[in-house]
Amino acid sequence: MLKTLLSALRATSDKTTAAEAERLVTLARDELAAAREMLTEAQESYRKSRVADDAKATLAARDERLRREVLVDRAEAALQLAEERHTEAVARDAEAARRRRYVEAELKSAAAEKALAGYPAIAQQLVELFSVIATAEVAVQAANADLPANAGPLLSPEQKIRGLAAVPRTPLPPTIHSDHWYYVGGSLDGELVEDFHVPNIEAKGQSGTLTRRHRETGATTTFQVAKRRRQLNHFREHLPAHVATPLAAEVFLPALLPGEAPFWQPEGDPASVISSCEYLVGVERGHVRDPRLPSESYTSELLDAPEANAAERAA
């Protein structure tokens, strides 16, 4: 078995995986454990043979012990080699994983660069969108300020698409409760009889009388009562309209390159949006100033001329 293991270890290459190398380490450890057990048995046999009558038995036991010591030594060497191969395989696998991540990152980076190159055109389309919306908003405001005959106000374009209309108070299915006692006639007509008075009712079907005793004077009063069914009405309360904040007031589109003017900065008033769109569409791109350097700021340093230093050394 050890011979087969050593052959397998010698056959390992740069293509051996960490899992395959780990399997060889496990086999080598098992082989070493078995060899050490055999050596222990040989050492015990040799110890006993030294007091035997036959010297040849002692020589044979010693030879067997030596043979097993060599076996242990070779098994230890096999384990060491297997662990080295495993360490190398783990390092190779880790390097291969790093290489795969690196290549994947390169591909994704190239895709991102391509996408970023298209950003100016996308940003310009959004600016044009803001211009269309703002122009419509101004026109709607002007029309609503002086409506023609029999015409209703126009809804804001963004409110029509991005807003939510108000929801009126909406009735829901009512809840019907079981019959309860109510006062009939007099100043308490229509009021609910309190639960602790119900046992005092003398009922005749759906109607009856209730006798109440005054707590202090002890005087009694009789009331006419009747059973009625209670209905509890439910409503979903009114929800006001949701007016969305204009896109032009929420979106910020920075320049692609440092030092360039932004494609869009938030504007709220539609008229201001139109003005900003007209300006930004006309901005000439490409004239970039490094934002890290203060303008007209320089640092100078006085140095000796190399010719003067050479003249001094010659003198």
Q: Where are the domains of the chain?
A: 2-114, 123-166+242-289, 167-236
Tens-digit pLDDT profile for residues 228-252: 887 888 999 999 999 989 999 999 9
Asked if 207 and 181 count as a contact pair (C-beta separation under 8 A), the reply is no
pTM comes to 0.55
Phi-psi region of 165 (alpha: psi -120 to 50; beta: other; left: phi over 0): beta
Separation CA 141–CA 161 (nearest Å): 17
Upper half-sphere CA count for residue 166 (Cβ side, 13 Å): 6
> Taking 60 as the threshold, does the pLDDT of residue 315 lie above it?
no
- Find out whether 277 and 128 touch, Cβ atoms under 8 Å: yes
77-101: pLDDT as tens digits: 989 999 999 999 999 999 999 999 9
Here the tokens at position 111 are 């895709």
Percent with pLDDT over 90 in the chain: 49
Integer Cα distance of 75 and 93 in angstroms: 26
Residue 105's pLDDT band (cuts 50, 70, 90): very high
Confidence of residue 112 (pLDDT cuts 50, 70, 90): very high
Token pair of 307, please? Answer: 């010719």
pLDDT tens per residue across span 268-311: 788 889 888 888 776 666 666 777 766 666 677 777 776 656 65
Q: List the 220-236 sheet strands across, edge first.
A: 170-183, 220-236, 207-213, 201-204
Mean pLDDT of 115-136: 93
SS3 136: helix
